[in-house]
Structure 1
Amino acid sequence: MNKINHFVGVDISKDKFDVWDSKAGHRSFANQPKGFREFTKQLSSNSFCVMEATGSYYQQLAMYLYGHKISLAVVNPISIKRFIQMKLQQNKTDKSDARMIALYGQEQPGLSPWIPAPEYITQCKQLQRVIVIYLKQNTSLKNHIQSLESRGVKSGVLIRSLKRQLKQVRQEIALMEAEMQSLIHQYDGDLFVNLSSIPGIGKKTAAFLIILTNGFRDFDNYRQVSSFCGLSPTEHSSGTSIKGRSRISKRGNPYIRNQLFMCSFTASQCNPQCQLLYQRLVNKGKSKKLALIAVCNKLIKQSFAVAQSGIPYDPAYRSRIVCQ
């Protein structure tokens, strides 16, 4: 990284990507293999490309650059947005964004080179996206059926059609989940079993945690995982006049956040550490919702510890260490 002196900012969209660097200025290429080849011809061994994690648009170019041994970093779009605001940049164009992304790369020492997730993780993420779509359809169909039945429409072609669709959607969800768990068992089976051993963490949640965190290999500590899931607390206060309530950030994947929140109900009853935490907070006068969010973070902490240690959940683990 110390030898790199050529930072290239890439602002990517569905059909094209704009590039800016100090040597060649602004250029634009098609977001397809031909454009990738034209782009890489203008790079050297000391080039370092920086781009945003913009949906799925960046993935093909990132994989192409990685395959051709070109250094790159894929940055959270929020970081770039805050950087542009800090620089008081007023213009909002593809060209200006590419230039600011390049400047971000120059001014942020120690950017971690991007390494693609294993192929099975990519496949599981695709399955997960489809599952989320089907879950939304499931909720919509179920609500529509309940709405009709509440108005006295309990039979007929409309109800039968909706129920057939609901049954089909649920079958597809089951198929996608089975395929996802099969892939995880094949490549990360031990981790899946260990996570499932945590009281309150079900198989679905264990699978989603592995997929979203790349088996917890993309994070250095559990706090990063908590922030990634949008469960880290945020405080808004200033001086004596502004005293906002502490809230969770709600950034990141909403589905895993909802999954963990549902898990917290069970964990607060059957997971010894979570149960103690929940009761302690409630006894202090904290709301039950706040206590459940704290339980979510405790589950993340336990999951990270299990992933790092490589052993199943053991409620007596800490006490054993103290006794030793």
Structure 2
Amino acid sequence: MNYVGIDVSQKELVVVNTQGKVGPAKSFENTTTGHQEIIRLLAKLKGETQICLEATGVYHFDLAVALSRANDLEVMVINPKAAHNFAQALMKRSKTDTIDAATLAAYCERMPFEAWQRPADEVIALRAMGRRIAALNKLKTQTKNQRHALKATLDTPDIVIEQTEELVNVLEKQVQAHRDSALELIRQHESLLCAFTLIIGIKGIAEASAIQLLAELLVLPQDMSAKQWVAYAGLDPRHYESGSSVAKKPRISKAGNKYLRQALYMPALVATRYEPKLPPLN
């Protein structure tokens, strides 16, 4: 049995393999290409391979999906707090990406292995559609702002304004096409349709917001608590105090899934206006 630890960051993946002793660390880009390079590397190992990585926000998910689809590879995704406590138990005095990867490999070897459950293919497809819609909406907003600036001066040639307006129309059509595809996917799967029906029953959430929210929420483990959901979205309060003179107003940490926060923004504004159980914004 091979035991592999992968330290995940936004841009880099550090892989360490242990077979009785810690092997050399190898680095890969945290991209689709990098994921396939890791799979090819691990495929050369003899026998079955168990892999351990931390749940690092949004950066581990695509890697975990790719690894779970490969032959002879089993993946375990653990809570970062568990990895931290395990490192303390091993009396680790230093912290580097290589040491963290080796610690994860040791965790995989010594602790009970709990295989990560990959979300259903339709859920992964919905997530891809939701994120593409978010990217297109962002680009559409930027283009509209540019159009407004171009129209503010008489020196802008008509062709520039016309093509900018055409781009806005193209982006709007693409957003609608992706939403239609997402709704069709939801109708084809009973579990998605059930979740969709429940979430649009909440004041402030309509079809567009429901697609974005379900795209991010349905990939999460079903046993997550409400506090974990809040932290995952980066909506947990962050306190800043120092001594007796510095005490800033608490604000959300934003150390979480930005797509989920974006999807919740407009529904939250609407809910504070039309839901009597929620306090209005000051």
Find out whether 1:98 has 2:75 as its counterpart. Answer: no
For the Cα contact (< 8 Å) 2:64–2:75, is it kept in 1? no
Q: 1:23 aligns with which of 20, 25, 42?
A: 20
Q: CA distance change for structure 1 residues 137 and 220 in 2, over 3 Å: closer, same or farther?
A: closer
Aligned to 1:294: none
Aligned to 1:255: 259
Aligned to 2:187: 185
Alpha-carbon deviation of 1:77? Answer: 7.1
Alpha-carbon deviation of 1:268? Answer: 1.4
| Distance in structure 2 (CA, Å) of the matches to 1:111 and 1:227 | 25
Alpha-carbon deviation of 1:116? Answer: 0.4
Moved more, 178-187 or 11-20: 11-20
Find out whether 1:213 has 2:217 as its counterpart. Answer: yes
The percentage of aligned residue pairs carrying the same residue is 22
Alpha-carbon deviation of 1:17? Answer: 6.2
| Distance in structure 2 (CA, Å) of the matches to 1:147 and 1:82 | 53
State the AA in 1 paired with 2:66.
Q
| Distance in structure 2 (CA, Å) of the matches to 1:84 and 1:135 | 42
Find out whether 1:170 has 2:172 as its counterpart. Answer: yes
Find out whether 1:38 has 2:34 as its counterpart. Answer: no
- 1:98-147, CA deviations, whole angstroms, 9 ceiling, x for partnerless residues? 2132245578x677531101001111122222222212221221111111
Q: CA distance change for structure 1 residues 217 and 210 in 2, over 3 Å: closer, same or farther?
A: farther
- 1:267-287, CA deviations, whole angstroms, 9 ceiling, x for partnerless residues? 11222322xxx15xxxxxxx7
| Distance in structure 2 (CA, Å) of the matches to 1:200 and 1:223 | 22
Find out whether 1:89 has 2:78 as its counterpart. Answer: no
- 1:62-97, CA deviations, whole angstroms, 9 ceiling, x for partnerless residues? 322xx54x54312467986898799442544xx434
For the Cα contact (< 8 Å) 2:239–2:249, is it kept in 1? yes
Normalising by structure 1, we get a TM-score of: 0.68
For the Cα contact (< 8 Å) 1:205–1:256, is it kept in 2? no
State the AA in 1 paired with 2:65.
Q
Greater RCO (Cα-Cα under 8 Å, separation 6 or more): 2
| Distance in structure 2 (CA, Å) of the matches to 1:159 and 1:80 | 54
**Structure 2: 5+ residue runs without aligned partners?**
28-35
State the AA in 2 paired with 1:254.
K
Q: 2:269 aligns with which of 262, 265, 274?
A: 265
User: Greater helix share, 1 or 2?
Assistant: 1
State the AA in 2 paired with 1:198.
I
Aligned to 2:152: 150
For the Cα contact (< 8 Å) 1:17–1:31, is it kept in 2? no
The Cα RMSD (Å) is: 3.6
Normalising by structure 2, we get a TM-score of: 0.76
- 1:42-62, CA deviations, whole angstroms, 9 ceiling, x for partnerless residues? 44xxx6420245463443223
